[in-house]
Structure formats: structure tokens, C-alpha cells
Amino acid sequence: MTYQHHNLDGSLLDLPVGKVVCIGRNYLEHIRELNNVTPETPILFMKPSTSLVALDEPIHLPVGRGECHHEVELAVLVGRELRNADAKTARRAVAGYGIALDLTLRDLQNELKKKGHPWETAKAFDGSCPLSPFLAPEALPDPQATDLALQINGQLRQRGNTQQMMVSLFELMAYISTHFTLQPGDVVLTGTPAGVGPLQSGDILMLSLAGHDFAARVA
């Protein structure tokens, strides 16, 4: 099924489906668990619109490409164009908040990193961004102090709070807009807390954002 942006009540959002702009290494404990270097400036990468899939659809893991890891993240839906924006302008451009998985082919990513190559083939494959419906901005009055979590088969795997971000949400959007114009319908992924790990066929997932739970499963 072709992905479209939806509200939490299931209604369709009147926004096109655009690109996904992501930040790597925005939670310190996640940096430590993968033995990565703390970046001096935000590490940005992108996923195409074909990476987006509704979270309630079965998650299909790429076959024969090594481990595919879960990375749970706060997702921000952009509602108006941002170019060279400041943080206040970025906040006014938010059309909704959701929760997403940044699926990552970890074995492949590690190989690419060793060679100094870009990560896209490990991060931007079709279906690599399962995404929930969006909460209205007013439903998340303090998005910079919001809990998010991931359970797999009833066990807690990831838990964090957006207060732990190294680059705050709206500063991140503003920074992105100095490099890439953010357009209505684009999505920004804001980084993952510690606890990433491999997914397996048949896994049952529960993603939580600010008291809202979203179920998913791996095919």
C-alpha cells in the first residue's frame, strides 16, 4: 500500500509525502553503545519517500544483508517550507509529531563506515522508515521533554526522553534548513536513545510516545 501521512484519528493529512531527513548520534548513550565518536556538528543523512511505510503494516526485513537493527525515534512532520530558519520559525512549521523506526542494516553500515563510504544503502532502503500516524502539535505541549520507548515481544528494549538530545529539536530543524530546504510533507527524525539491536522475523513491537502506544510486527 502506498504510504500517506495520517492523523492519529485515521484521517488523511493534506500534505504530500516528501523526504526524510535524519540525524545520527544525537543521544550520548547511543553513541557510547556503538563506540562511536561524538560529533562536533550534527551528522545528517536522508531517506527517500520510498523508505516510508505505515507502522501498522508488516515490517519486511531485507534478506541476505545481515542484521537489521531497530532505532526508535521521535518524528516531526513539516507543514511549511523552511530555508535558513531559526528555531522559533522551525517550531511554527511543525504539522505533527509521530514515532518512527530508523531501520538500519548494521553489518552493512559498519562495512561502509570502515571504508569511509556514505550510509544510504544501509539506512535508506525501501521500507526502512516505518512511521506512526501523527499527533497534532498541541497534543505534545513540550516536545523537548517527551518520553519514547520500544518494547519487543513484551520486553523493554529502548527508552529515552527528548531532553537527552544533544541537539535540541527545533535547533536541529533550523540547522537542517541551512543545508537542505525542508518542504511541506517532509519528515525529520531526531535521533535514537540507547538500546538498539537486531529485529527477527515474527517480532511483535510496541512503540510508545507521550502515553500513546503503536503496535507493529515483523513479517
Cell 517550531 belongs to residue:
91
Distance CA 72, CA 101 (A): 5
What does the mean pLDDT of the chain come to? Answer: 95
How would residue 130 be classed by pLDDT, with cut points 50, 70 and 90? very high
CB atoms within 10 A of CB 120: 16
Separation between Cα atoms, residue 157 and residue 43, nearest integer Å: 24
Say what the pLDDT of residue 39 is.
75
Q: Is 9 helix (H, G, I), strand (E, B) or coil?
A: coil
Question: Grid coordinates in use for 169?
Answer: 529539536
Question: What is the mean predicted confidence (pLDDT) over 201-217?
Answer: 97
Q: For the purposes of burial, counting CB atoms within 10 Å of the CB of 168, is it exposed (0-12), middle (13-18) or buried (19 or more)?
A: middle
Q: Is the dihedral of CA 100, 62, 5, 213 positive or negative?
A: negative
Question: With bands split at pLDDT 50, 70 and 90, how would you rate the model's confidence at 31?
Answer: low
Stretch 128-146: mean pLDDT? 96
Q: What's the pLDDT band for 41 if we cut at 50, 70, 90?
A: confident
Cβ pair 48, 19 in contact under 8 A? yes
Say yes or no to pLDDT of 146 above 80. Answer: yes
Q: Where are the alpha helices (DSSP H) in the chain?
A: 28-33, 87-92, 106-115, 120-123, 169-177
Write out the three cell numbers for 96: 505533527
Q: pLDDT category, 134, cuts 50, 70, 90? A: very high
Residue-wise pLDDT for 78-101, tens only, equals 999 999 999 999 999 999 999 999
Q: Which three cell numbers stand for residue 63?
A: 534478506
pLDDT tens digits along 147-179: 999 999 999 999 999 999 988 999 999 999 999
| CATH architecture group of domain 20-217 | Alpha-Beta Complex (3.90)
Give the residue from 213, 210, 182 showing the smallest Cα distance to 85. Answer: 182
Greatest distance between any 2 Cα atoms in the chain: 45
The DSSP code for 30 is H
- Give pLDDT, residue 37: 76
